Structure 1
Amino acid sequence: MEKEKVKKLCANCDTELVGKFCHNCGEKKVSRKDFAASNFIQEVFEKFTHFDSKFLRSFWLLVSRPGFLTVEYWRGRRKPYLKPLSLFFIINLLYFLSIGVNRGRTYETPLRIQLLNPYSPVVQKMLDERFAAATEEERKDFETRFDRQNHMLAKSMLVLMVPIFAAVLWLFYWRQGFYFGEHLVTALHFQALLLVQNMVVGIFLKSSLFHVLFGYFSHSDIVQETVEPLLWVWLIAFFTVKTAYQEGWLRTVLKSFTVTLLWLPVLFLYRFVVFLATFYTA
């Protein structure tokens, strides 16, 4: 009588193992070799190079083919690329670290710019109430602290724009049966690409594109802070929407234009939220 083979069970869920990994929970079968120093070194190297290649591939496709990563994620082809949220946070981190050299100011709003936004009466009222009995020196000191704090917060709270922009996309495509989560993926890639654009223009051109092309005209705050960002948003939105939602050219032009116009109040809402956070912490 043949000796019955001992079944090897998963240490995590007690499912019978077939191969190196549990087909039920994905836990790897442990062996003594896993604890060798050479194995740890190999694992670190593989993790680093695997992440590095994923990031570079995802970054290149994000920049060169707007909307492509979104479609790939929707279709279930996810292994070759970084997850949308991971890609966004890495690019957001790079954007945050570029504070010292990036002159792009789409999201950063110094106090003088806050007073030019549509909600400026609210800002002015809050400032008047806070500094009713303050000296001019105290006001200037607060403005300095405000601008420094806003410089940091505006670049670190950008994830707040993602669900708001996803809601804008949902308004346009709810009849097509897309889930809100699908629009979140689009919004993450879209916002990440906007951050890349902001870094490229702010770091390498060291000014707004309008200033490079048109000189003195672009010194206007309204041009640098609102008009030029809208043009970039429309350009990125057009290619993203065209690739992701695959509609005709005319419909894509109209929808991307409308999405761009709706992005503006999203930007103003974000600026106001950052203002409140800065106002009470500066």
Structure 2
Amino acid sequence: MKITTKQIQYGTDIHTCKNCEHKFTGKACNMCGEKVFDPHQLTTKHFFHEVIDFFYHFESKVLKTIKLNFLKPGFITLQNIKGIRVPYAKPVQLYLVVAFVFYVIVSKVGVKDYIPTFGDHHYFSLSDYKLLQWAQPLDDKIAANIDSLWVKKGRVMQAEIEEKLRYNSVNQQSLILKSRDRQDSIVLPVENVPIIAYRQMVELRQSLYNHSIGTFGKTFIFILLPIFAAFLFLIFFKKIQYYGAALILATHFMIYNLCVYSLYTLIDLWPRYLFKGFKGWVLRPFDAVLYNETMAPISEALFGSGFEFFHLLFWMPWLYIAFKRLFNTVWWKNIILSYLLSRVFFYLIFGVLKKVLIAFTVYNMHL
């Protein structure tokens, strides 16, 4: 059937946008997106309907995007690059939701892989890789500087605590220590002030570190995305026109990583949390096959430690499929690129990010 212009119905109502004052027809302004206002929208019923509708669509979008990002690596990135974005959650929006769930899980279980304890800066160094053993002096210097910063911060705290204790002393010869409820006290010689101050400093310094590291860790891992995106952009610069496309791919990859590690934490490490002394069982078969006395030298040369191998185990397939879908890379190049980028990303997280995070946290600790 042939459709004539007489049969086509056009919207005849012309609205003036209350936001930008643009004249338009339809239900929303084609300049700023502001919808036509109806007094009915002020009713209680409409308010709760919008709240329910928001969470329903938000949840469906998020779960749908996570599922596709998990099962079809690179697909959501490709859709974003093509401009098909309405059916899916936005990359940053999705990252924030997944990161929130991730940190709730790891904090409840007590996993410190992404929230490092002090001392982790001595591990996963550049010189751990055999081809980069020449970097040993640099690694030692970085670790020594962080240790030195830790000691200096402790001395500053101890001096401040000593000053407060002496200020509250009865005289120059004795010191009164009171309990929190101020119903009990003890008088000590003032010569004991440095010892008391040191003990308080040790507890306070660790407490401040534990309190700050989680907050900074959640921020710094997000900052890592532009760095990894830069590697992707440099490698595929002939096929990626804009750095933003590489940033979207890096974000979707990180979302996948956080999802998988959350599942791993629940499956493998939760029993360790419930049953003291129970060790994770997921990696045991790989340790038995690849990290026994015979195979360990070869496996460590190819995949690093067992902890690094575990990450390569689920990073490489995702990157391989994503690169194939996005760039149609030759299979052997794809394997090499997936392998190298997985190892680079591992070092960025556990080699670079942890050291920077620990140093930044210690530097910003204050009484």
Provide the secondary structure at the position in 2 that maps to 1:170. Answer: helix
Indicate how the Cα distance of structure 1 residues 158 and 130 shifts in structure 2: closer, same or farther if over 3 A, else same: closer
1:210 matched to 2:283: yes
Contact (CA 8 Å) 2:124, 2:347: kept in 1 or not?
no
Is 1:124 the counterpart of 2:127 in the alignment?
A: no
| Residue 232 in structure 1 maps to residue 325 in structure 2 | no
1:165-216 alpha-carbon deviations (Å, 9 max, x no partner)? 000101111122421000000000001111111111112111474246537x
Say if 2:15 and 2:36, in contact at 8 Å, map to a contact too: no
**Matching residue of 1:178:** 241
DSSP 3-state at the match of 1:69:
helix
- Counterpart of 1:249 in structure 2 is 331
Distance in structure 2 (CA, Å) of the matches to 1:163 and 1:72? 20
Secondary structure of the structure 1 residue equivalent to 2:30: coil
Alpha-carbon spacing, 1:94–1:17, altered in 2? closer, same or farther (3 Å): same
Are residues 58 and 30 of structure 1, via their aligned partners in 2, closer, same or farther at CA, if it must alter by over 3 Å? same
Deviation at 1:73, TM superposition (A): 0.6
CA RMSD between the two structures: 3.1
Distance 2:209 2:23 in 1: 61
What is aligned with 2:341?
259
Q: Which stretch shifts more, 105-114 or 192-201? A: 105-114
- Aligned-pair CA distance for 1:9: 2.0
> TM-score, normalized by length of structure 2?
0.66
Q: Which moved more, 1:256-265 or 1:78-87?
A: 256-265
The answer to whether the 8 A contact 2:98-2:255 is kept is: yes
Aligned pairs, how many? 276
Q: Distance in 2 between matches of 1:7 and 1:238?
A: 52
SS at match of 2:238: helix
1:122-161, aligned counterparts within 5 Å? 122-128=142-148, 130-131=150-151, 141=203, 142=205, 146=209, 149-161=212-224
Q: Which moved more, 1:160-169 or 1:227-236?
A: 227-236
* Distance change >3 Å, CA 201–CA 6, structure 1 → 2: closer
**2:334 corresponds to 1:271:** no
Deviations 1:9-60 (A, max 9, x none): 2222333231222223222111221212221122112111111111111111
Alignment match of 2:229 (pick from 166, 172, 193): 166
Report the counterpart of residue 253 of structure 2 in structure 1: 190
Q: CA deviation at 1:103?
A: 5.4
Letter in 2 for 1:16: K
Q: Secondary structure at the match of 2:305?
A: helix
Structure 1 residues 232 and 121: CA distance shift in structure 2, 3 A = farther
Q: CA deviation at 1:262?
A: 2.3
Name which of structure 1's ranges 230-239 and 158-167 shifts more when overlaid on structure 2.
Answer: 230-239
**In terms of mean alpha carbon deviation, does 149-158 or 166-175 score higher?**
149-158
Shift of 1:158: 1.3
Question: CA-to-partner distance for each residue in 1:231-265, whole Å, 9 max, x for gaps?
Answer: 33323322222222222222211211121232234
- Name the counterpart of 1:200: 263
SS of the aligned residue for 1:117 comes to coil
Q: Which has the higher strand share?
A: 2
CA contact (8 A) 1:115 1:124 kept: no
Larger Rg: 2
Identity rate, percent: 20
Amino acid aligned to 1:214: D
Conserved 8 A contact 1:242-1:252: yes
Aligned to 1:72: 79
**Do 2:311 and 2:346's aligned partners in 1 also have CA atoms closer than 8 Å?**
no
Q: Tell me the residue number matched to 2:272.
A: none
TM-score (norm 1): 0.84
